[in-house]
Amino acid sequence: MTGEVGLRERKKAATRAALSAAANRLAVELGVEHVTVEAIAAAADVSPRTFHNYFSSREEAIVASIIDWSERLIDELELRPADEPVWDSLQHVYLGTLDDSPAARDRMIAQIDMVMANPTVIASQLAAFDAMRRRFAAAIAARTGTDAGRDLYPHLIAGAAAQAVKTSMELWAHGLTDRPLREMVAEGFEQFRAGLPQPGRQPG
């Protein structure tokens, strides 16, 4: 029975991923306004009814990869040594998922341009990032003995880590730097750990 449940869950995850990938590809190729649920379902080789079993809208499908990415990161975070400093753990799991190849850069540019051209997708993306932050805060609270329902600490750490990654991705994708993405993210984490000292000044 356990094996059957596991297989069923893997099939569901694969269908969800296929729908999200199809939604993203069509949105980039055609523009969000020209993408329909029927087209997404057809590209993923499922029915529109199956689409609605997973997502309530095309926008939700487009940004679903953010939620799925956060779940993978949290799974990795929970496997890190319990006595490892939380910033070390977060840096390890984030850097382990980043692709800074030229092809990845091109995909990220197309993705950012597609999102920024559509206000409804921007709203869905912001909601997805907020859900990601809350998931990370809960995981960080469990590692640090804090309470995500009461304490600032896990939320601030989760938000800072996500912002370091997001900002690095945006600068890297838009060609404002030729530094590797992983190097930028690692520096962002290091600056947060140091308390964001002003450049050119020694911490007092």
Tokens 């059957």 appear where? 4
The radius of gyration of the chain's CA atoms, rounded to the nearest angstrom, is: 19
Q: How confident is the model at residue 6 (pLDDT cuts 50, 70, 90)?
A: confident
> Residue 204 pLDDT more than 70?
no
Phi, psi of 134 (to 5 degrees): -65, -40
Tokens 């055609």 appear where? 30
pLDDT digits (tens, 9 = 90+) for 125-169: 999 889 999 999 999 999 999 999 999 999 999 999 999 999 999
> Residue 4 pLDDT more than 90?
no
Output the CA–CA distances (angstroms, integers) from residue 138 to 124, 145, 165, in the order listed.
Answer: 21, 10, 19
Is 16:64 a contact under the CB 8 Å cutoff? yes
Neighbour count for residue 188 (Cβ, 10 Å) = 22
Q: Which of 77-81, 129-133, 182-186, 197-201 has the lowest mean pLDDT?
A: 197-201
> Residue 203 pLDDT more than 60?
no
> Residue 34 pLDDT more than 60?
yes
pTM summary value: 0.83
> Residue 14 pLDDT more than 90?
yes
Tokens 């690692």 appear where? 186
Cα gap 112→115, rounded to integer Å = 5
Q: Which amino acid is at 48?
A: P
Instruction: Of 58, 183, 69, give the one whose Cα is nearest residue 133.
Output: 69
Q: How confident is the model at residue 5 (pLDDT cuts 50, 70, 90)?
A: low
The correct CATH number of 58-193 out of 3.40.50.720, 1.10.10.10, 1.10.357.10, 3.40.50.460 is 1.10.357.10
Residue 67 has a pLDDT of 86
> Residue 66 pLDDT more than 90?
no
pLDDT digits (tens, 9 = 90+) for 84-100: 999 999 999 999 999 98
Residue 90 has a pLDDT of 95
Average pLDDT of the segment spanning 60-80:
91
Give residue limits of the domains in the chain.
58-193
Average pLDDT of the chain, as a whole number: 91
